[in-house]
Amino acid sequence: MARLAYDSVEALVYDPVSANRTATRAALYALGFRHTDGVATLEACMEALQKRAPDIVLCEAQGAGEELCAAIQELRQGGGCDNPFIVVIVTAWEKSTGLINRVVNSGADDLLLRPFSTALLGSRIEAHIERRKGFVITTDYVGPDRRLAQTRASNSADNFEPPNSLKMKAKDKMSAEAVSKRLDVDLKTAREKLHAEKLRRDSFQICILWRLMQEQRPGLPAVQVDLERLVSLAHSVQRRCQDGDHGAVAEWCESIRAATAGLEQDRNAAMHLLGHAALELHAIFHPEQSTADRIAEIDATVAIIRARSQTAIAS
């Protein structure tokens, strides 16, 4: 195996503790990294990502784990950075189930416990060059696909290989110009996939929430949560289509918001409008399906959700 070369790789280290930040940068330097920046706050980290996306970022979770993980998932969803697919390693001092779940759900590539050796850091970085997991896109998550191999065939979430400038520089040893050209092409393709898949999944989820709300008693906390989620998804869909050619999207998204606002005045009329708008929006992003097929898929998914809910209540 050819030796990895990190001299042209750009790295960013976020850690609020100066000594730990210095130690991480020293470990990266020992591995051969020569372009490493350090920041002390999450805000500074996100600002740095917005200005210029590095090839890899190491982020400390101690003290702001929830905020960090939310920021990583926002990054993965395509916000705040030209490259949502950069390699992200989260570092932490203590291992807990809550932290592990948050990191997994954030879309980070890895969780590395402190204190770690330079050799361990090197092996983790090498893994994301040689064997980086493919990414998956769902309504609530974009990031490494951690499903078991036997479940992937039956799961509709498509797996794709994310652009990896770290690999281009460290393993392929491409020049800066070559990396820039290759990354431009790869990012365009990956972003288009992210954009299209998010619209498909978000419009589908809007239909699911509408169907679930039909049989829920108004005023329950769960109904309010679903309602807020539905409005948020409609806003996300409209925002993603601002520069697109989907002329009817804004109209249906506005109808969805109007329907949710009118639920307290005339629930029957509002639910009818909500369902019509949700199905029309869904049809725009699933043109390959017939109306019957779309409704059948929605009903089948709702049935699964209800069955799981009933099982949870029974247990």
The answer to whether residues 135 and 86 touch, using CB atoms and an 8 Å cutoff, is no
- Residue 216 confidence (pLDDT) above 90: no
The whole-angstrom separation of Cα 174 and Cα 165 is 9
Which is more confidently placed, 148 or 274?
274
So what's the pLDDT on residue 150?
42
**Domain residue spans in the chain?**
10-174, 196-314
Which is more confidently placed, 152 or 243?
243
The answer to whether residues 16 and 41 touch, using CB atoms and an 8 Å cutoff, is yes
pLDDT tens profile 11-70:
999 999 999 999 999 999 999 999 999 999 999 999 999 999 999 999 999 888 999 999
- Overall average pLDDT of the 171-184 stretch: 96
- Residue 155 confidence (pLDDT) above 70: no
- Overall average pLDDT of the 78-95 stretch: 92
The whole-angstrom separation of Cα 259 and Cα 187 is 37
pLDDT grade for 245, boundaries at 50, 70 and 90 = low
The amino acid at 227: L
Strands in 159-160's sheet, in edge-to-edge order, are 142-144, 135-137, 159-160
State the architecture of 10-174 in CATH terms: 3-Layer(aba) Sandwich (3.40)
- Overall average pLDDT of the 202-227 stretch: 89
Which is more confidently placed, 157 or 220?
220
So what's the pLDDT on residue 315?
65
Dihedral sign, Cα of residue 292, residue 297, residue 300, residue 305: negative
E strands, the chain, in order: 10-14, 35-39, 56-60, 87-92, 110-113, 135-137, 142-144, 159-160
What angle separates helix 267-285 from helix 249-261, to the nearest 10 degrees?
160
Of 143-157, 202-216, 292-306, the range with the lowest mean pLDDT is: 143-157
Q: What is the mean pLDDT of the chain?
A: 91
The whole-angstrom separation of Cα 26 and Cα 20 is 10
pLDDT tens profile 100-149:
999 999 999 999 999 999 999 999 999 999 999 999 999 889 999 987 54
Please, what is the end-to-end C-alpha distance for the chain in angstroms?
52
The answer to whether residues 13 and 24 touch, using CB atoms and an 8 Å cutoff, is yes
pTM, 2 dp: 0.87
- Residue 264 confidence (pLDDT) above 80: yes
pLDDT tens profile 277-303:
999 999 999 999 999 999 999 999 999
Of 25-29, 224-228, 246-250, 286-290, the range with the lowest mean pLDDT is: 246-250
So what's the pLDDT on residue 284?
95
So what's the pLDDT on residue 117?
97
So what's the pLDDT on residue 157?
54
The whole-angstrom separation of Cα 52 and Cα 87 is 14
Which H or E run contains 245? none
- Residue 314 confidence (pLDDT) above 80: no
